[in-house]
Amino acid sequence: MLTIEKIRQYLGDEASDLLEFAQPKIAREKLQLPSAQFVDQVFSQSDRSDAVIKNLKRLYGHGRLGNTGYLSILPVDQGVEHAAGYSFYKNPDYFDPTNIVELALQGGCNGVASTFGVLGLVARRYAEKIPFIVKINHNELLTYPNVHDQIMFGTVEQAAEMGAVAVGATVYFGSPESRQEMVEVAAAFARAHELGLATILWAYVRNDVFQKGKTNHEQSADITGQANYLAATMQADIIKQKLPSSNGGFKSLNTSGSSYGKFDAAVDEDLIGTHPIDLTRYQVLNNYAGKISLINSGGASGEDDFAEAVRTAVINKRAGGAGIIAGRKAFQRPFSEGVQLLHTIQDVYLHKEVTIA
């Protein structure tokens, strides 16, 4: 278990700022916060069936964070999304689906998210041991020239038959293909709920126009916040989103005579601060005020994975988020180190001195 001193060490110069921030734009009292009773408090009043609620409880109840309201999920779909050789060359053991699921199990995760192929091949052995989340659509990189378009790789019925508790899907909001993706994924999510499966949306923003100078507004709080709101509208039960690194996307895209969406400076002034916890809290606000859990992505693997993972977890937790979905930082290293990294993330959520701002 991480000590608060070790957490501060990982945070470095940002430690006091991130751990002691206490004046968010949106008060925590306005949000549905993670708790052991979260699923009942939110979904018992919803249109979700008893079967969906049972599967949500199984997901929230598994692993080291079981029954805390927080989630730690291992996602490994990069073999399709980023190419298998590129994704697994640092540790070729993960070409084998068994090792992917074993990492999630020994890493203490609530669940494992992967492809039809990976999870289907080991379903009889593992589907009862750890919650399965089947990613039903992907963007593949073999089409020439490369495109950014999420396409279905199977059916919701297949996911249900292999014993999954949930399906996951991506929409590239802002892309030319996004409207068709929204229609397809919304239909798939409706079918998943009919079959008793929970739903998780990777609510990514993707369009070259969002790059303005050195700022990539694909990770701006206002743009990603609206993507989250659309995801919740599509009845995602959990939303995966990149940690925001900036704000002002709508403002930037409404300059020099251009017009995009709806923009009022008062939104930034009244609802979105400049602090990293404020930026992420705006994402939580757009998740129906926290009633749809926000899990932030762990990001790419690099030289400071443990420190970056702790920083992301601290920001997410203190903002009112519900966890981290970290893949590459865990599987692009030796197995034991991957387990350690997942435990490190989970320790932030288990630590009572890391509080919600």
pLDDT tier at 263, thresholds 50, 70, 90: confident
Per DSSP, 351 falls in state -
* Res. 257: pLDDT tops 80: no
pLDDT digits (tens, 9 = 90+) for 168-220: 999 999 999 999 999 999 999 999 999 999 999 999 999 999 998 899 999 99
What pLDDT, on a 0 to 100 scale, did the predictor assign at position 356? Answer: 98
pLDDT tier at 291, thresholds 50, 70, 90: very high
119 and 134 in contact (C-beta within 8 Å)?
Answer: yes
Can you tell me the distance from the alpha carbon of 313 to that of 348, in angstroms, rounded to the nearest whole number?
A: 6
* Res. 23: pLDDT tops 90: yes
**Average pLDDT along the chain:** 97
Selected catalytic residue, list 6, 57, 90, 240: 240
Tokens representing residue 217 in the block: 């507004």
What pLDDT, on a 0 to 100 scale, did the predictor assign at position 16? Answer: 98
pLDDT tier at 283, thresholds 50, 70, 90: very high
The whole-model pTM stands at 0.98
* Res. 260: pLDDT tops 90: no
CA quadruple 276, 277, 280, 286: dihedral, nearest 10: -140
What pLDDT, on a 0 to 100 scale, did the predictor assign at position 338? Answer: 98
Can you tell me the distance from the alpha carbon of 302 to that of 328, in angstroms, rounded to the nearest whole number?
A: 9
Long-range contacts of residues 148-155, Cβ cutoff 8 Å, at least 24 apart: 148/172, 148/175, 148/177, 148/206, 149/175, 149/177, 149/181, 150/177, 150/181, 150/185, 152/184, 152/188, 153/80, 153/115, 153/116, 154/116
* Res. 258: pLDDT tops 80: no
Active-site residue 240, yes or no? yes
Segment 81-90 shows an average pLDDT of 96
pLDDT tier at 255, thresholds 50, 70, 90: confident
What pLDDT, on a 0 to 100 scale, did the predictor assign at position 299? Answer: 94
pLDDT digits (tens, 9 = 90+) for 207-243: 999 998 899 999 999 999 999 999 999 999 999 999 9
The structural domains of the chain, ordered by start, are 4-350 (3.20.20.70)
* Res. 307: pLDDT tops 80: yes
